[in-house]
């Protein structure tokens, strides 16, 4: 069933024998697809500023709820959230559109999905773009991330795994982390969805202290109530996010962090030894203090693996597509134009 939402965006379901994917779409059904993949702990709503914009440009703009989120299938075991299965969901999605290729855009945990599609299924890609998370990082597991930690900010004796400490907390205390988030999803969203701040530049990210604090919320059993940052999301957006996470819980979203070994093994099976030849874009967020790429080595593997790479830097925090959507849209269009992708598709 398809129903009309806002700004010309429609709702859709794809059901196969293995999985159900809910997605939002805008633009003519026979237009070239550009598929936006959200991260943790979001849903298709995260791309509400991109869908009508790219539809107006002539694309079929699509944003799915990833597995474990929103109206897509939810699973009760960690193994069901490994990258290989998630990529298969996206290949089923593009198959259902009757399209051979798409432009894939990812953010946060959506970034490794987009990168893995490009590296494992290059024949299904016109191009690939990522917001905040560079290639050949999360895909290779937490040990690879730790090797790239900026030790000028995170001395090894004090921060053995740097800003990725929270990932270890999931592995060691999954039930506790999930229960604390399930206790008040609305407050979790308000706490997380804050715009970037220059005042924290060069300081350890809060994610580096999660195990020391015995949880995300410094000993509290649920997220504290903080003011809504309406520069990132509105009260209406908050309701959509909170309702989805209340319905499904955080088990699925958090389980994405429980497959580092399996994801690393999957990365090793990429075509062309993981080299990506297609046009690729990485947009860094200057004030994303967890995925910091301006001064750290986090972007080095990507620069060695992507042979047709463009990079941009925005003065924004982690939630850039929502905090500064016009800037994100501009950088994507500039890349598509200068790399000849628009000429190829239209």
Give me the pLDDT at residue 4, please.
45
For range 18-28, the mean pLDDT: 97
Instruction: Sort 115 into a burial class: Cβ within 10 Å, 0-12 / 13-18 / 19+.
Output: buried
**Domain extent for 47:** 3-345
For range 174-199, the mean pLDDT: 96
Q: Mark residue 218 as left, alpha or beta (left: phi above 0; alpha: psi -120 to 50; beta: remaining).
A: left
Strand boundaries in the chain, DSSP class E:
3-4, 10-15, 20-26, 33-37, 60-64, 102-107, 125-131, 280-285, 309-314
Peptide bond into 279 cis (omega under 30): no
Give me the pLDDT at residue 3, please.
43
Please name the residue ranges forming H helices in 71-141. Answer: 83-96, 110-120
pTM of the complete model: 0.97
Total number of domains in the chain: 1
Per-residue pLDDT band at 200 (split at 50, 70, 90): confident
CA distance 30 to 39: 27
Per-residue pLDDT band at 313 (split at 50, 70, 90): very high
Structure tokens at 2: 């398809």
Q: Give the model confidence (pLDDT) of 44-65 as tens digits.
A: 999 999 999 999 999 999 999 9
Give me the pLDDT at residue 5, please.
54
Residue 251 pLDDT exceeds 90: yes
CA distance 6 to 234: 15
Give me the pLDDT at residue 100, please.
97
Task: Give the three-class secondary structure for 125.
Answer: strand
Give me the pLDDT at residue 156, please.
97
Residue 276 pLDDT exceeds 70: yes
> Do 332 and 106 meet the contact criterion of CB atoms below 8 Å apart?
no
Minimum mean pLDDT range among 36-45, 76-85, 195-204: 195-204
Q: What is the CATH number of the domain that holds 97?
A: 3.40.50.1820
CA distance 275 to 306: 6
CA distance 306 to 299: 11
Provide φ and ψ at 326, rounded to 5°: -65, -40
Give me the pLDDT at residue 30, please.
93
CA distance 3 to 118: 31
Average pLDDT, the chain: 96
Rg of the chain's alpha carbons, rounded to an integer?
Answer: 19
Give me the pLDDT at residue 199, please.
87
Residue 6 pLDDT exceeds 80: no
| DSSP one-letter code for 257 | G
Give me the pLDDT at residue 1, please.
34
Q: What share of the chain is helix, strand, coil (3-state, %, to 5)?
A: 45, 15, 40
For range 18-30, the mean pLDDT: 97
């Amino acid at each position: 069933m398809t129903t009309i939402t806002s700004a010309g965006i429609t709702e859709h379901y794809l059901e196969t024998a293995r999985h159900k994917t809910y997605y939002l779409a805008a633009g003519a059904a026979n237009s070239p697809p550009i598929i936006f993949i959200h991260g943790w702990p979001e849903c298709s709503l995260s791309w509400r500023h991109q869908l009508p914009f790219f539809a107006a440009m002539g694309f079929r703009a699509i944003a799915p709820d990833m597995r474990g989120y929103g109206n897509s299938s939810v699973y009760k075991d960690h193994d069901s959230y490994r990258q290989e299965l998630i990529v298969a969901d996206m290949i089923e999605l593009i198959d259902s559109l009757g399209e051979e290729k798409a432009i894939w855009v990812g953010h946060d945990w959506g970034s490794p999905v987009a990168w893995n599609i490009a590296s494992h299924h290059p024949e299904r890609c016109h191009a690939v773009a990522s917001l905040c998370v560079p290639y050949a990082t999360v895909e290779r597991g937490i040990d690879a991330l730790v090797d790239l930690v900026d030790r000028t900010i995170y001395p090894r004796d004090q921060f053995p795994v740097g800003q990725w400490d929270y990932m270890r907390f999931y592995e060691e205390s999954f039930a506790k982390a999930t229960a604390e988030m399930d206790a008040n999803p609305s407050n979790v969203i308000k706490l997380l969805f804050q715009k970037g701040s220059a005042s924290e530049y060069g300081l350890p990210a809060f994610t580096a202290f999660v195990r020391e604090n015995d949880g995300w919320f410094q000993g509290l059993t649920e997220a504290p109530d903080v003011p809504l940052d309406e520069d990132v999301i509105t009260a209406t957006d908050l309701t959509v996010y909170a309702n989805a996470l209340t319905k499904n819980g955080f088990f699925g979203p958090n389980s994405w962090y429980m497959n580092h070994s399996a994801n690393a093994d999957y990365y090793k099976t990429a075509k062309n030894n993981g080299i990506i030849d297609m046009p690729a874009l990485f947009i860094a967020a200057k004030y994303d203090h967890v995925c910091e790429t301006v001064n750290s080595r986090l972007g080095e593997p990507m620069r060695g693996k992507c042979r047709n790479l463009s990079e941009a830097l925005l003065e924004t925090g982690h939630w850039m597509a929502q905090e500064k959507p016009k800037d994100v849209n501009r950088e994507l269009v500039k890349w598509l134009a200068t790399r000849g992708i628009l000429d190829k598709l239209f």
